Amino acid sequence: MGTLEYKKTKLAQALLSLKYALEDFNHLVDPDERQYRTYRDSLIQRFEYSVDLFWKYLAKYLTETLAAPEANGPAPTIRAICAAGFLSDDEGELALEMIKARNKTSHMYVEELAEQLSRQIPAFHILMNEVINRLPLK
C-alpha cells in the first residue's frame, strides 16, 4: 500500500470514528451536564484529528498526483486544492472555516466555542467525506 493510499485509509477510519461520535452525540436522551460535555468533548477531539489527517492527505494528494510543490500548512493546502479544481469556491470557504475552527480548539478551551463547534461539525464531516470520495487514487 502506497503512502497516499495509507493516508486515505487512516483518514477514512478517522471519519468513521467521527461519524459514530456524531451519532452518539445526536442520540443523547436527557443527558446530565457531565454526560453531555463528555460526549461533546469526544466529538471535538475526533474532529481535531480528522481535520489534521484531512489536510495532510490533501497535501500528499497534491504532491503525488499533480507533482505540485508541497503546501506549507493547512490553509495553503486548502487553497492549493481549490486552485487545482478539486473543491468548489463554497467548499473551499467551508474548508478554510473548518481549519480556523480546528485551530481555535488547540489554543484555548472556551465553553461557547465548544458549543458552536459541536453544531458546525456535521457540515465539516460531510465536506471531508465528499472530498476524499471524489479524489481518485492513481
**According to the model, what pLDDT value does residue 110 have?**
81
Longest dimension (CA), the chain: 51
Average pLDDT value for the chain: 92
> Cβ-count burial of 12 within 10 angstroms (0-12 exposed, 13-18 middle, 19+ buried)?
middle
Report the predicted TM-score, pTM, of the whole model to 2 decimal places: 0.92
Question: Using an 8 Å Cβ cutoff, are 130 and 1 in contact?
Answer: no
pLDDT in tens, 44-56: 999 999 999 999 9
How many other C-beta atoms are found inside a 10 Å radius of the C-beta of residue 116? Answer: 13
> Structural domain boundaries of the chain?
3-134
Chain centroid to CA 125: 6
In Å, how far are 6, 18, 44, 106, 115 from 111, measured between CA atoms? 35, 20, 12, 13, 6
pLDDT in tens, 17-42: 999 999 999 998 888 999 999 999 99
CATH topology of domain 3-134: Four Helix Bundle (Hemerythrin (Met), subunit A) (1.20.120)
